[in-house]
Amino acid sequence: MGSSSIQGELWGQVPQDWALLQEPMHRPLWEAMLDEAMVTSGKRILDAGCGGGGACVMAAERELQVIGLDAAKGMILFAQDRVPDGEFRVGDIEDLPYENNAFDAVFAANSIQYAADPVTALGEFGRVCMPGGRIVAGLLGTPDKVEFRAIFSAMLDALPEPPPGAGPFGLSMPGKLESLFEEAGLTVLKSDEVNCPLHYPDSETFWRAMAAGGPMQGAMRVIGKEKLKGAMLEAAKPFSLSDGSITIQQNVFKYVVATAA
């Protein structure tokens, strides 16, 4: 089973919780990335790793032609329902099922870090983007700027051994993602950051949002739901407010803007 099949299966377990409870808090990142894509009404944009379609909704509101791809069938079905005029399909960002130069821009928020070979994925973004078109990819910033790292740490500490891969911050170090863009033959224009505060009205909503993510689904299969839930709720205590809500204020994401050859 390939990495996209594994990721698709994990992320497709509870797509509605991810799409409705967690994804909307990424809106500041999506807004900044769509601005940098610099595409106008009627242009075609590919959301590579579109998840539940939150960014696709925003792109459609800008009157763009929206094409979304994700490894998780459940996410794709949810996105299609939200953007009926969009084109959505299940697929692998490392082997995009589109012709060369098919899009005016490529948008990839929180997906490139899940690719087994990020350079191959970025190369695919360049292949399907028109010459001179913009490619924008975003992911978590450095750990010192991400308070959510406490939640990741609690998950990792609860596991008997670390999961394979570089972890949530593997591509976040200064210059790392930029160097991968260049290795893929893309021309980097700029890098920037945006904060996405996370707010949950209560602990149960927090848990549902966490449990819907692929990494948490993988951890749950190793240590079980109750142990993972306990670890998550304990890690959230420093961010809990007197009304029972949970707010994680500093969660900086970085994004890189490049052009295709």
Domain residue extents for the chain: 3-147+166-197+251-259
Residue 177: name the closest of 203, 221, 126, 141 by CA. 141
**Res 121: pLDDT:** 97
Q: Which residues contact 247 (CB under 8 A, 6 or more apart)?
A: 197, 198, 199, 200, 239, 241
- Candidates 3.40.50.150, 3.40.50.720, 3.30.70.20, 1.20.1250.20; correct CATH number of 3-147+166-197+251-259? 3.40.50.150
Mean pLDDT lowest among 19-28, 40-49, 82-91, 155-164: 155-164
In the three-class reduction of DSSP (H, G, I as helix; E, B as strand; rest coil), residue 91 is classed as: coil
Span 194-198, average pLDDT = 98
Tokens of 6: 């594994």
Query: Is residue 164 pLDDT above 90, yes or no?
Result: no
CA–CA gap between residue 23 and residue 17 (Å, rounded): 9
In the three-class reduction of DSSP (H, G, I as helix; E, B as strand; rest coil), residue 76 is classed as: helix
| Confidence at 3, pLDDT banded by 50, 70, 90 | low
Determine what percent of the chain is predicted with pLDDT higher than 70: 98
pLDDT in tens, 202-221: 999 999 999 999 999 999 99
Q: What is the pTM of this model?
A: 0.95
For 254, phi and psi rounded to 5 degrees? Answer: -110, 155
